[in-house]
Amino acid sequence: MERNERDDAKVENDHDLEDDHGGFGSYLFGMSETVAKQLTEDSDAFKNPSLSWMIGFLFVVSFLGLFSAVPLRKVTIIDFKLTYPSGTATAHLINSFHTPAGAKLAKKQVRVLGKFFSFSFLWGFFQCFYTAGDGCGFAEFPHLVLKHMKKVKAFLNLPKSSLLVESTYVGVGMICPYIINISVLLGGILSWGLMWPLIDTKRGDWYPADLKPGSLHGLQGYKVFIATALILGDGLYNFFKVLSRTLAALFFQLQRSDATGALPIADRSSPKTSRISYDEQRRTQLFLIDQIPTWFAVAGYVTIAAISTTTVPHIFPELKWYYILVIYIFAPALAFCNAYGCGLTDWSLASTYGTLAIFVIGAWAGASHGGVLAGLAACGVVMNIVSTASDLSQDFKTGYLTLSSPQSMSAFKDLGTPGSQYPAPYATVFRNMAILGVEGFSSLPKNCLYLCYWFFGAAILINLIKDVLGKKRARFIPNPMAMAIPFYIGSYFAIDICVGSLILYIWENIDKAKADAFGPAVASGLICGDGIWTLPSSILALAGVKPPICMKFLSRRTNAKVDAFLGS
């Protein structure tokens, strides 16, 4: 592989895309005439962005994710005990402001959180001074040990920035279970270390050799769809597992009037066991007292779905009402998959599910019936539903840990032009996906669909093995959902979160009491400090303030060439 993995991840699918759930840098501008004219295929199919229809569209589709997440909040927060690292970090930050006066431990926790919050914030501030151009800054720090192992690096595609870790990912690693972090690392090794380099050797055989790096006809197609297959296999298995248990409990409840089986839904309290701490019992009790009724969530979903099915086709005539109806039938399962995966790894893969919608609806509509615009619009519907579900689940986790009521949680002309200040590169990527979608899955690169079948089956098989082995042994089995994350977005963060796990593991072995008391505070400080730095950095970017220095790391040979050039 000629380019390093971090560069691939930035070009093809940077994780920042996951924050663009509204589609303002992806599918919405993928519909625009500016982006359409950049491509030779279907350049006449476009719909220019306008506040009037964009506000209406986002309004009628965004609430569906809220109603999808409400009925399953008990499953994700109480039964599965998913971590939701960002929600957990936020909760610890909030709790630090409301500690009882005179509590020595609480004061110490606040001080620890403040120290690491300040460190993370100032580290982000310091780094920004050296990022004046592409390939600049500490993020490009090379791995000195492996830099000279050219053959190993060429085959394993090792990241070059694996010594200077990012504080956010270290904090996430300290909160996530060990097996989740190890699963992410295994997924990175399997995909970027083995599969992608091997598939790259098939260039010219399995797919044309002259394709651009982001083309879904080439290596990127394998990355997107194999990751999607793993995610769907794991998510759907757990969805139907919960559904089957719910139906079984309901059956016994109807058969026996004195049955005590608890349904894994929000309107039933969790069974109490003596092993649960008093704090956990108190949190669970308060979390389940002030409920948003399940019947209300179901009624709200049906009502908004009916309104949306009627309204959206007027905004996008290419997106027929029966396309939308099919989406809304499957949307709760996809929302659960995304909320479940986000709870495990803190990553919302809304764009992955949006990509799936592009291909299914685009292929169904066909090129002659506006399949490109239909696919992009369907992508927007799915992305808004699944992203809202995961975001709301994060908030529920925060509310659970802070003993809050669940009911209370609830101008540029050159935009999209290459080379401008706001090129919106992912808009072109999403439009290319839509163009590929109308051609059908047969246009995917060779053997891609077969590999998807294998990985979908592997995800189900792994979950079956975990259920058969029982809890004691199952904790050593990797999680397919976590393994799929680096397949899609790159594995550059896998080392960082494993560093977080290693720090916590060593700390627990040295002093478990302090690790239990201060570990969450340290992790929360690292996550929140780096996160809050994005606010002033965004303000500086909007104000046009640019970093003063570009710091690059060059090899000895490259540096000699630069010196020779400057000397001449």
Cα distance between residue 282 and residue 285, in whole Å:
5
More confident residue, 412 or 54: 54
Task: Please state which of the ranges 160-169, 276-285, 460-469, 502-511 shows the lowest mean pLDDT.
Answer: 160-169
Q: What are phi and psi of 259, to 5 degrees?
A: -65, 150
**Beta-bridge partner residues of 207:** 203
Coil vs helix vs strand at 452: helix
The Cα 51–Cα 174 span in angstroms is 42
Three-state secondary structure call for residue 207: strand
pLDDT band at 193 (very low <50, low <70, confident <90, very high): confident
Residue written as token pair 């879904």: 216
Coil vs helix vs strand at 20: coil
Most confident of 111-120, 289-298, 544-553: 111-120
Position 103 scores a pLDDT of 55
User: 51-69 and 321-345 are packed helices; what angle lies between their axes, rounded to 10 degrees?
Assistant: 60
How do residues 99-139 score in pLDDT, each as one tens digit? 654 356 667 777 888 888 888 888 888 888 877 777 677 76
In this model, does residue 396 exceed pLDDT 80?
Answer: yes
Q: In this structure, what is the dihedral angle of CA atoms 314, 317, 318, 323, given to the nearest 10 degrees?
A: 40
Answer yes or no: is pLDDT of 17 > 60. Answer: no
Mean pLDDT over all residues of the chain? 75
pLDDT average, residue stretch 413-437: 59
